[in-house]
């Protein structure tokens, strides 16, 4: 009986702590939603109210009508989707090459690839901008899609994932006359699909929340992404549109939340399997 009460006390303390931590983490999001539904004069009212006295949808109407939110969302979806698809395609192929093929300088090349992961992104900003300007890609989507299509982290992730696949499967396919791309498409991809879901979510969320890249390359408001549009609502003292800014922040979270909830199980499976296989 003593052990029972001891276990019960531990469980109460543990779950109470988790609930308090969860409330602490969720509170900013609740406050963001609350602010998006407030009138301008109520946002900084005292005492602060979590539930607005006068709920208004004007902030949402403002960002859709005045700030062309649908165009901003379509830009963000296009950039995030294309960059994610290209990244998954090239990094999985790169990981397949490093995991299952032998060629001169393989170890040295892989070491150089990993070394690029420690280079600060700020160091590459100016050279990257000069290259994109020479290509005529400034104020276009391509600088946010193409350069990250074969990133070192993705290649390393898939290399570790694919290296545990039995070579006999591929040898049997080669005996049957399958090409290497057919082997990659029909054997490798189905096996690593959970990992592709997990890494795809990471890539998509990273591209969706990217602020520095769009700030550097996208000059025209018609090409802005959601992060630039949110920043565009911030002005000088007394000029910030707090309500519309919070409303746009709420809208920006909805697609990520839906995607994560839909693929949550796959995400956990892919990360766990990758960790075990790595």
* Residue 229: Cβ-neighbour burial (10 angstroms; 0-12, 13-18, 19+): buried
Over residues 160-207, the pLDDT tens digits come to 888 888 888 888 888 888 888 888 888 888 888 888 888 898 899 999
Mean pLDDT for the chain overall: 86
* Comparison of pLDDT for 6 and 200, the residue scoring more: 200
* Comparison of pLDDT for 128 and 260, the residue scoring more: 128
Write down the pLDDT at residue 271: 58
Write down the pLDDT at residue 278: 43
Q: 174-188 burial string, b = 16+ CB within 10 Å, else e?
A: eeeebebeebbeebb
* Comparison of pLDDT for 36 and 263, the residue scoring more: 36
Report whether pLDDT(32) > 80: yes
How much of the chain exceeds pLDDT 70, in percent? 94
Residue 276 banded pLDDT, cuts 50, 70, 90 = very low
Closest CA to 29 of 202, 215, 249: 249
Closest CA to 183 of 88, 95, 96, 75: 96
Question: What does the alpha-carbon distance between residue 159 and residue 106 come to, in Å, rounded to a whole number?
Answer: 12
Write down the pLDDT at residue 263: 78
Question: What does the alpha-carbon distance between residue 187 and residue 170 come to, in Å, rounded to a whole number?
Answer: 8
Report whether pLDDT(277) > 50: no
Closest CA to 27 of 16, 38, 35: 35
- Considering the entire predicted model, what is its pTM? 0.84
Over residues 78-91, the pLDDT tens digits come to 999 999 999 999 99
Length of the chain as a residue count? 278
Write down the pLDDT at residue 50: 79
Closest CA to 94 of 160, 146, 143, 190: 160
Mean pLDDT of the region 142-152: 89
Write down the pLDDT at residue 89: 92
Write down the pLDDT at residue 272: 58
Place of tokens 């029972």: 4
Over residues 108-129, the pLDDT tens digits come to 998 998 888 888 888 888 899 9
């Amino acid at each position: 009986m003593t052990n029972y009460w001891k276990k019960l006390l531990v469980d109460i303390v543990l779950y109470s702590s988790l609930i308090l931590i969860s409330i602490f983490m969720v509170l900013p999001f609740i406050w963001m939603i609350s602010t998006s539904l407030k009138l301008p004069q109520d946002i900084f009212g005292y005492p602060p109210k979590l539930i607005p006295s006068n709920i208004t949808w004007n902030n949402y109407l403002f960002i859709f009508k005045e700030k062309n939110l649908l165009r901003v969302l379509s830009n963000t979806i296009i950039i995030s989707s294309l960059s994610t698809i290209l990244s998954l395609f090239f990094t999985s192929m790169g990981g397949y090459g490093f995991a299952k093929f032998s060629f001169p300088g393989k170890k040295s090349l892989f070491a150089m690839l990993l070394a690029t992961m420690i280079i600060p992104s700020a160091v590459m900003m100016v050279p990257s901008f000069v290259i994109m300007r020479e290509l005529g890609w400034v104020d276009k989507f391509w600088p946010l899609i193409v350069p990250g299509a074969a990133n070192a982290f993705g290649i390393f992730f898939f290399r570790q994932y694919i290296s545990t696949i039995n070579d006999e499967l591929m040898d049997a396919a080669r005996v049957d006359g399958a090409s290497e791309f057919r082997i990659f498409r029909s054997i490798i991809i189905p096996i690593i699909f959970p990992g592709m879901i997990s890494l795809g979510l990471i890539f998509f969320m990273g591209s969706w929340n990217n602020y520095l890249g769009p700030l550097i390359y996208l000059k025209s408001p018609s090409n802005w992404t959601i992060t630039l549009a949110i920043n565009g609502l911030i002005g000088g003292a007394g000029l910030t549109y707090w309500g519309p800014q919070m409303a746009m922040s709420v809208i920006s979270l909805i697609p990520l939340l839906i995607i994560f909830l839909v693929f949550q199980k796959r995400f956990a499976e892919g990360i766990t399997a990758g960790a075990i296989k790595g």
